[in-house]
Amino acid sequence: MKLAVVVQRYGADINGGAELHARYIAERLARHADVEVVTTCARDYVSWRNELPPGLEQVNGIPVRRFRVRRERDPNVFGRHSRQVFERAHSIADELAWLDSEGPASDELLDYVSGAPFDFVLLFSYRYYHSWHLARRIPEKAVLVPTAERDPAITLAIFGPVFRGVRAVMYNSHEEREMIQAATSNHRVPGVVVGVGSNVPSKTQPLRFRQRFNMNRRFAIYIGRIDENKGCDELFNYFHRYAATFPRGLDLVLVGSAVMPVPAHPRIHHLGFLGDEDKFDALAASDLLIMPSYFESLSMVALEAWALGRPVLANGRCDVLKGQCLRSNAGLFYESYEEFAETLYALESNGPLHARLGLNGREYFARHYAWPVIERKYLDMFARVSASREEGQSVETLPNWWSRRRSDQPPATELLRAIPSGPATTPAADISPALDRRRPA
């Protein structure tokens, strides 16, 4: 079987959520199939500037073919188009212009993947230029890994036909699947909730981490980009208040590059970006992981914390994280400062609770996110789709020139509000959502 993994950026040092996800999947599937990664020369996801050389190279033993991006993204133009499609009534042509301005536009990449003899093409991140165009060009080979968050882009009219036209969809979480099905009505398309595993080391050295970074006190950890969009602003605010209330409570350790100022506080320690070894040692040395993000399609770091037996304290306003905490019984969540303080204190002071949540996390990870489980789900889906191969499968065509320019599409934010939210508390990995949906009143 010959597989292509198409993703917007790729590299051993590129740690974005979808990109890392694509790398892990490519490396694991390479044990079962002939895998080639097709990507761009970009390293920066904001500008898509061509920084890496085009052509073929090997990354961790996987062939990676890079193509140049036609033009860099102009933030002003992209911002204008985003406002147009998200906040105002607009046309299909506006949505196409938005997609074009978002990028990364590379026609060479599209031509190569369309012409090469791949059995299946795994398209990562539904919202980018390459995924939309390839899903339309080769729908009979396209398997989409949407990595969709709850943002207005999912309700744009141009994505409906793509989700309904591909061969299969590999979802990251139950919440993501329900949101996409509600937005695009693609119930007919074969889909499975897979997520992604993680290369968690079998042995970690928390003491080495404590010695190296001189961490003597117990601490909670946050791993990821330190960004307002990730809820870090709220986290700092809450932690300040918590630290004032509990002078001898946990410290907060931040791991990751900062795109916002980190407040100076004796109990907040920013360590910057760490390699995998240090990261896992830090996680093992911590008491718990805090995930303050509002929007996640799947938090890999939360899965890693669970794999190491650490409970997670998540932002309860993120449906995916809340759903995972409820399904795994391995984490608590908060929606206000009072809840933050109470849950953090409970995790800090209640040993049996902490231990039980950690144990549940380990079991949850082993049951749903261990690599053999993930690989099996992908291979089963390929087999299922191969067995039911439909000739002449195609994506719905775009409206004609005049219809595309008619401003009859409502603002995407309005449509998003109409999509039901809340965690899906399905206990098993892949059960019909209609049967298991249980929303809080």
Partner 1 sequence: MTDINIRSDSIDVEQIMRQIRARIREKRGVDYTEEEIRELAAVKLEKFLDPRGVRSDLLEQFRRKREATLPPNFAFEESTLFETHRPFLRFMRRLLRPILKLFFNPNPLIEALHIQSKLNAQHAALEPLYYEVLHNLVLELTRTGIEVKNLKMRVESMSSRLDFDERRARALEGVVVYRPGAATPLQPPSGPSEAKPHAESTETQERRRRRRRRGRRRPLDGTQGRPSEAREPRSTPHGQESARREGGAGDQGEARQDVSRDTGAPPTGNPGNGDASGES
- Binding-site ranges for partner 1 (CB under 8 A): 71, 74, 76-77, 79-80, 83, 100-101, 245-248, 325-326, 329-333, 335-336, 338-339, 342-343, 345-346, 349-350, 352-353, 356-357, 360
What's the min distance (Å) between Cβ of 312 and partner 1? Answer: 10
97 vs 168, which CB is nearer to partner 1? 97
58 vs 76, which CB is nearer to partner 1? 76
182 vs 260, which CB is nearer to partner 1? 260
What's the min distance (Å) between Cβ of 340 and partner 1? Answer: 10
What's the min distance (Å) between Cβ of 417 and partner 1? Answer: 15
20 vs 250, which CB is nearer to partner 1? 250
What's the min distance (Å) between Cβ of 423 and partner 1? Answer: 10
* Residue 176 C-alpha from the chain's centroid: 10
247 vs 392, which CB is nearer to partner 1? 247
What's the min distance (Å) between Cβ of 367 and partner 1? Answer: 15
What's the min distance (Å) between Cβ of 346 and partner 1? Answer: 5
Q: Yes or no: say if 95 and 157 are a contact pair by the CB < 8 Å rule.
A: yes
What's the min distance (Å) between Cβ of 126 and partner 1? Answer: 23
126 vs 242, which CB is nearer to partner 1? 242
* Residue 24 C-alpha from the chain's centroid: 13
The alpha carbon torsion through 287, 293, 297, 303 (nearest 10 deg) reads: -10
Q: What SS3 class is residue 29?
A: helix
Distance (Å, whole) CA 229 – CA 254: 16
What's the min distance (Å) between Cβ of 341 and partner 1? Answer: 8
15 vs 47, which CB is nearer to partner 1? 47
Angle, vertex CA 128, rays to CA 124 and CA 131, nearest 5: 50
Which amino acid, one-letter code, is at 282?
A: A
Which residues have a Cβ under 8 Å from the Cβ of 167 and sit 6 or more positions away?
Answer: 120, 139, 140, 141, 142, 143, 189, 190, 385, 393
What's the min distance (Å) between Cβ of 44 and partner 1? Answer: 19
Residue whose tokens read 């009534």: 89
Instruction: Give the C-alpha distances (Å, rounded to integers) separating 27 from 64, 74, 426.
Output: 11, 33, 29
Strands 62-67 and 55-59: antiparallel
The answer to whether the bond into 440 is cis (omega within 30° of 0) is: no
Q: What is the 3-state secondary structure (H, E, C) of 181-247?
A: HHHHCCCCCCEEECCCCCCCCCCCCHHHHHHHHCCCCCEEEEECCECHHHCHHHHHHHHHHHHHHCC
Which amino acid, one-letter code, is at 178?
A: E
The DSSP code sequence of 296-348 is: -S--HHHHHHHHTT--EEEETTSHHHHHHHHHHT-EEEESSHHHHHHHHHHHH
111 vs 228, which CB is nearer to partner 1? 228
79 vs 201, which CB is nearer to partner 1? 79
What's the min distance (Å) between Cβ of 246 and partner 1? Answer: 6
338 vs 390, which CB is nearer to partner 1? 338
Among candidate residues 168, 138, 281, the one with its CA nearest the CA of residue 215: 281
